[in-house]
Amino acid sequence: MGRKAKFTEGVVVKKGPGRKSKKQKDPTFSKALIGNDNLDKKLSHRQRKRATKRLQKAQVKQEKQKLKKSETHVTQNGQDDSEELSSESDNEVVLKPSTVGFSDDNKQWLTPKHTSKKIELEEESDEEEEESCNSEQEIVEESEGEQESGESEEEADIADEDTEEEEEEEEEDVDIADEYAEEDEEPEEDNLKVENLNDLSGDDDSEEGDEFSGDSDDNKDDEDLLPIEKQSKKLRKQQEIEDKLAEEELQLNIANQEKFIFPAKDSENDIQSLQDVQQRMREIVTVLSDFKKLRDGKHSRSEYIDILKNDLCTYYSYNEFLMEKLMQLFPLSELLEFLESSEVQRPLTIRTNSLKTRRRDLAQVLINRGVNLDPIGKWSKVGLVVYSSQVPMGATPEYLAGHYIIQGASSMLPVMALAPQENERILDMSAAPGGKASHIAAIMKNTGVLFANDINKDRIKAVVGNFHRMGIVNSVITCMDGRKYPQNMKGFDRVLLDAPCTGTGVVAKDPSVKTSKDDVDIQRCYNLQRELLIAAIDCVNAKSTTGGYIVYSTCSILPEENEWVIDYALRKRNVKLVDTGLDFGTDGFVNYRHHRFHQTLKLTKRFYPHTHNMDGFFVAKLKKFSDVIPKSASIENEAEDETEEVPANNTMSMEVSDEENEVEENEVEENEVEKPKKKLKVNGNDSGTHGNEKKQSKNKEMEKTKNKKQNKKKRLVEITDKKSHNKNKKENTGKLSKRENSSTKSKKKNKQTNEFDGNNKQSTAEKIKRIKKKIDNSLETSTSSNIQNNKQRLKKHTPKKKKLEENNSKIATSSSSVNWSDVPVEAATKLGKKLKKKNKKTVGQLKLHKKDKNKNKFQKQKINNR
């Protein structure tokens, strides 16, 4: 572009505001401001037509007026009416002098659009006055008009409008909606006549009646009122109508939009598109947010929630089971957030390998490679967040040289919680792919020993690769089942257990979790986790000067895999929860649904994708305070029960309770072991009080309990031994089996003792009698049925035998056929508990029965022989 010649050189013209500032447009004025002349041009064809119509009408009015005048004139002057009338009908030229607003030539028809109504109304009101004067004439006219038109769409709200307007409305045959839209304008009359003729209907009379009544009222009122008042009255009416309609419309809208219509059962399949599902989800969530107000009254909250669950399942493609779990875990609003953020990938984070480089240097190098990154946060000195990168982060020379590792932000937390120290011996029980383990090594600065274990041979290769790449030299990489680790090595200072889990916190990483998990998977998971955690605790040396800590973490958010597992470990081992040292994250659950976990579980930390922008995670830090493995909780409870009941003050009650205890405890072995057991006790007494039968029964009873306690202790030891072998078994079945074991063992012992105290038969008989008496005395306190049981049992202690099968069946019936009406209220609760226990134990009973039948027969034979 060449430079253009300046023709206006020398003439300096101001350039204005500059090219960037917007030039203001010419001002525009509203029609009202512009004035009437402009309006003239703008009148449309229809408007003009209407104007002419109006003009004609006005002329008709004029004529009427004239008629009236003439009438008065006639009365005064005696002129001929007929002449006048005929002349009126023909006369269309004379205009009605308007009383309103306009003074120029156009005043008859020229009304600005927005003001037309007002003016019209005024005109009409004027006319009304006139009409009231010549009502006769009106009626004639009207009847004619109605015959013509016979409007069917006459509305009650219109009925009280002027006769004049009615006339016009009668003539028009448009929808009411149109009517309101065009109310400002004059009604159309083009093609109405024909239709009106067709429309002739039978409601003429009623309409007439309405009109007349309305008219009369109006006329009466209107006569008293000033024109402006009338006008305002009319406006008010109009307003009311509009309000009413608006209200209706609003209600209609509410019904459409907000009120959620509960879908019929068979219409489940109607909804196809995801948008529909989303819409419905939103609606249900709003309903549930204010359930009291918005519910439909017929359906319960659970029904709403069921539908919501289904919708969420379809929308986010979860399976129903997992969605239910999540719904139990989160409140609704949070649930949606969680689901949403579970769809989105977390930002890529890397961890600097402090063995090889510093974070600042690494960041500089990576920035030079075109990576956009930032420190991860205050809480970590080695983490970096990568926002965008021109090179693949997993293949830069720095990565290959081991300067950093790609690791989720959440994966750094358990290591920080573990807080490894230099020169410690640390175990990472499930290490693959070695991110956390290498973090530990880096914190230890390659001192001490780091054991990295994983059960999976293929995944352990990643650990090897990462460790060598990162330059970790203090590591021992093993591949074995973590549950067996304590058998190989114990005495670690710290153990990190990043347990295998369902991965519900990392749905974004692996969406297959959404559909692939069900109840059994979770059950399997937490069983494995419990075993691993117990093994991890067993690996730790409680006496370690620096450590003795276990950190348990999962990438799951389900409490079954987290709090519950920790709670289990708290009960099973001498560990306590300590603060994780992480200053963010939400506290773990202490109460979750029906679970009441240990109070200290609030020291654990949970991380969610929607609140912390990292993967869902759980971290708990445990400190082991004793290497002693406590007795299993269930047995402990039993022992506690016993000790609680025994030290009662009253000797009688003590005895009774003792008896009851026996009943409870030995129910399993009762049939088979009863006799030897009793004998054992007696034997113990006799040996202790040899020849001193006059000693008080109280002492004997005490000794009995002592003996029993000893037995119990033995049993406990046995059980704890057993336990380590039977770890894999479930708790309940475990209990039963333990009981079986213990019972069989005690039996054996009893057998042995039996052989020695064959001589003491008579004394046993006496003993039994005594006990019987006592029990009879204490009948009031214990329930009738129970005592019957006891009696039966005691009877059976006499050397005469009865068949075991009979006994069995009796007890079965006695346990099941307790007549509740007979039992006193106080005892009823007691009995109920016992019955429960009995029922439980019958399971074991049967098993035992089969097992030890032969043994018992043998025993009986022995007894018989003696």
Contact in structure between 294 and 260 (CB atoms under 8 Å): yes
**Smallest separation, CB 462 to another protein (Å):** 7
Of the candidates 565, 538, 564, the one whose C-alpha atom is nearest the C-alpha of residue 550 is 538
**Smallest separation, CB 460 to another protein (Å):** 5
* Segment interacting with another protein, rule: CB under 8 A, options 393-401, 612-620, 683-691, 815-823: 393-401
Residue 395 engages another protein in binding (rule: CB under 8 A): yes
The pair of three-digit structure tokens given for residue 217, joined into one six-digit string = 């009222």
Question: Which listed residue (95, 252, 344, 473) binds another protein by CB under 8 A?
Answer: 473
DSSP state of 504: G
Q: Which residue has the tokens 């430079």?
A: 3
Of the candidates 57, 139, 145, 138, the one whose C-alpha atom is nearest the C-alpha of residue 96 is 57
Residue 460 engages another protein in binding (rule: CB under 8 A): yes
Q: Among residue numbers 587 through 606, which ones bind another protein (CB under 8 A)? A: none
Question: Which listed residue (107, 118, 461, 745) binds another protein by CB under 8 A?
Answer: 461
**Smallest separation, CB 458 to another protein (Å):** 8
Contact in structure between 515 and 439 (CB atoms under 8 Å): no
Residue 398 engages another protein in binding (rule: CB under 8 A): yes
**Smallest separation, CB 356 to another protein (Å):** 9
Q: Which residue has the tokens 């049981």?
A: 789
615 appears as a binding residue in the annotation = no
**Smallest separation, CB 451 to another protein (Å):** 8
647 appears as a binding residue in the annotation = no
648 appears as a binding residue in the annotation = no
| Closer by beta carbon to another protein, 459 or else 772 | 459
Cα 314 to the center of its chain, rounded Å: 16
**Smallest separation, CB 397 to another protein (Å):** 6
Q: DSSP letters of 88-117? A: HHH---PPPPP-SS--SGGGGT---GGGHH
| Closer by beta carbon to another protein, 486 or else 616 | 486
Q: Among residue numbers 847 through 866, which ones bind another protein (CB under 8 A)? A: none
* Cα separations in angstroms, 326 against 9, 286, 318: 80, 19, 10
184 appears as a binding residue in the annotation = no
Sign of CA dihedral 340, 342, 348, 349: positive
731-756 and 697-725 helices, crossing angle to 10°: 130
| Closer by beta carbon to another protein, 402 or else 503 | 402
Residue 339 engages another protein in binding (rule: CB under 8 A): no
Q: Among residue numbers 428 through 457, which ones bind another protein (CB under 8 A)? A: 449, 451
734 appears as a binding residue in the annotation = no
844 appears as a binding residue in the annotation = no
Question: Which listed residue (140, 400, 779, 846) binds another protein by CB under 8 A?
Answer: 400
Question: Which listed residue (70, 196, 341, 475) binds another protein by CB under 8 A?
Answer: 475
CA distance 48 to 753: 127
Question: Which listed residue (50, 425, 675, 677) binds another protein by CB under 8 A?
Answer: 425
430 appears as a binding residue in the annotation = yes
The pair of three-digit structure tokens given for residue 77, joined into one six-digit string = 């002057």
Q: Which residue has the tokens 């297959």?
A: 512
The pair of three-digit structure tokens given for residue 134, joined into one six-digit string = 């010549």
Q: What is the dihedral of CA 296, 298, 302, 308, to 10 degrees?
A: -40
| Closer by beta carbon to another protein, 332 or else 449 | 449
Question: Which listed residue (263, 370, 397, 799) binds another protein by CB under 8 A?
Answer: 397
Of the candidates 859, 659, 635, the one whose C-alpha atom is nearest the C-alpha of residue 750 is 859
For residue 374, the tally of other CB atoms under 10 A from its CB is 12
* Segment interacting with another protein, rule: CB under 8 A, options 261-269, 397-405, 728-736, 806-814: 397-405
CA distance 649 to 390: 82
Contact in structure between 353 and 341 (CB atoms under 8 Å): no
* Segment interacting with another protein, rule: CB under 8 A, options 330-338, 434-442, 458-466, 609-617: 458-466
Residue 294 engages another protein in binding (rule: CB under 8 A): no
Size of the chain, expressed as the number of residues it contains? 866
CA distance 685 to 708: 12
Q: Report the SS3 class of residue 478.
A: strand
Residue 679 engages another protein in binding (rule: CB under 8 A): no
**Smallest separation, CB 388 to another protein (Å):** 21
Q: Among residue numbers 248 through 277, which ones bind another protein (CB under 8 A)? A: none
Question: Which listed residue (271, 464, 582, 629) binds another protein by CB under 8 A?
Answer: 464
Q: Report the SS3 class of residue 384.
A: strand
Contact in structure between 277 and 271 (CB atoms under 8 Å): yes
Residue 790 engages another protein in binding (rule: CB under 8 A): no
What is the enclosing helix (H) or strand (E) of 361?
A: helix 359-368
Residue 375 engages another protein in binding (rule: CB under 8 A): no
Angle at the Cα of 503 from the Cα atoms of 552 and 346, rounded to 5 degrees: 100
Q: Among residue numbers 484 through 513, which ones bind another protein (CB under 8 A)? A: 488-489
Question: Which listed residue (234, 436, 439, 469) binds another protein by CB under 8 A?
Answer: 469
Question: Which listed residue (307, 384, 479, 557) binds another protein by CB under 8 A?
Answer: 479
**String of contacts with another protein for each residue 348-367, x by CB under 8 A:** -----------------x--
Residue 404 engages another protein in binding (rule: CB under 8 A): no
CB within 8 Å of 360: residues ≥ 6 apart: none
Active site residues: 555
Cα 588 to the center of its chain, rounded Å: 18
In the complex, which residues of this chain contact another protein (CB under 8 A)? 365, 394-395, 397-398, 400-402, 425, 449, 451, 460-465, 467-469, 471, 473-480, 488-489
Residues belonging to the binding site are 430-436, 454, 481, 498
Residues belonging to the binding site for S-adenosyl-L-methionine are 430-436, 454, 481, 498
